[in-house]
């Protein structure tokens, strides 16, 4: 690796860590209706504000042994995990597309998806304050590529429309909500970036993961087939996977289909 490439990778990792730190703040603050643009970060157990050294992503958790220096309560391991997920996304995105104009909005788009993954896992909630800006960022990224407006329009229409239809049908026949409005807005968010083809791949991956998760719950916890799953927790990472590798899988599938 050349010196220039090393510097770029270093900067990408640093930006990913910063984005990860912001994502952890969003995961903690947004569902609790705490302002995420003001106020100092604090220990989730004792509420004591964190010092500058405790705000260093990943490393502060490692150096403190995963405990608050004030109350000695454990700091959840999910915080460095979220930060590392953002670093991984920023790096994988760089290796896929390089530093081009859509890179920054796509990096932010993925970081928001990571935050939404964890919020939905904890609260079964996909807040508009994240999905709507995420959609605008996704559209901005799409408009930086040729035919981006059409690409975004079809992806958003298919993703949001299909999930809305499935939710309506579930309500019609089961009389219970099967798809929240947040899932529909999330589908518009990733559809804007992925276009209609990779949106279908995303929905397939999420449905497959949901089937496996639901089956595991039935076997291990005695679920009855109606256990609610946070679908956004599956959709968001599925969208990121589809962006990174969906075209490779699609091309391989088409080659197999055509016998070549």
Report pLDDT digits (tens) over 148-186: 999 999 999 999 999 999 989 988 887 777 788 999 999
**Cβ atoms 102, 144 nearer than 8 A:** yes
225: confidence class by pLDDT, cuts 50, 70, 90: low
Residue 222: the pLDDT is: 67
For residue 58, which of 94, 86, 35 has the smallest C-alpha distance?
A: 86
Q: What is the pTM of this model?
A: 0.93
Domain ranges within the chain, ordered by starting residue? 1-99, 125-260
Q: Tell me: pLDDT of 223 over 70.
A: no
Distance of CA 251 to the CA centre of its chain: 25
141: confidence class by pLDDT, cuts 50, 70, 90: very high
Q: Tell me: pLDDT of 38 over 90.
A: no
258 or 79, which is more confident? 79
**Cβ atoms 127, 186 nearer than 8 A:** no
Say how far apart CA 21 and CA 243 lie, in whole Å. 23
Backbone φ, ψ for residue 98 (5° rounding): 75, -175
**Cβ atoms 233, 121 nearer than 8 A:** yes
């Amino acid at each position: 690796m050349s010196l220039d490439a090393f510097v770029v990778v270093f900067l990408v990792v640093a930006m990913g860590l910063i984005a990860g730190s912001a994502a952890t703040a969003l995961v903690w603050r947004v569902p609790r209706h705490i302002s995420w643009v003001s106020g100092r970060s604090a220990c989730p157990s004792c509420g004591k504000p964190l010092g500058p050294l405790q705000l260093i992503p990943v490393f502060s958790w490692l150096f403190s042994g995963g405990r608050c220096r004030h109350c000695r309560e454990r700091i959840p391991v999910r915080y460095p995990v979220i930060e590392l997920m953002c670093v991984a996304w920023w790096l994988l995105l760089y290796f896929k597309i390089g530093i081009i104009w859509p890179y920054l909005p796509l990096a932010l788009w993925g970081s928001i998806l990571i935050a939404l993954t964890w919020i939905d896992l904890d609260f079964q909630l996909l807040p508009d304050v994240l999905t709507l800006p995420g959609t605008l960022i996704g559209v901005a990224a799409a408009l930086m590529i040729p035919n981006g407006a059409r690409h975004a329009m079809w992806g958003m229409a298919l993703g949001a429309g299909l999930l809305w239809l499935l939710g309506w049908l579930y309500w019609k026949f089961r009389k219970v909500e099967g798809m929240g409005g947040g899932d529909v807005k999330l589908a518009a968010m990733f559809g804007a970036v992925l276009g209609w083809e990779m949106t279908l791949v995303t929905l397939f991956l999420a449905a497959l993961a949901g089937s496996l998760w639901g089956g595991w719950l039935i076997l291990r916890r005695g679920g009855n087939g109606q256990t609610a799953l946070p679908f956004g927790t599956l959709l968001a990472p599925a969208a990121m996977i589809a962006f990174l590798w969906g075209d490779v899988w699609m091309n391989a599938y088409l080659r197999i289909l055509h016998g070549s």
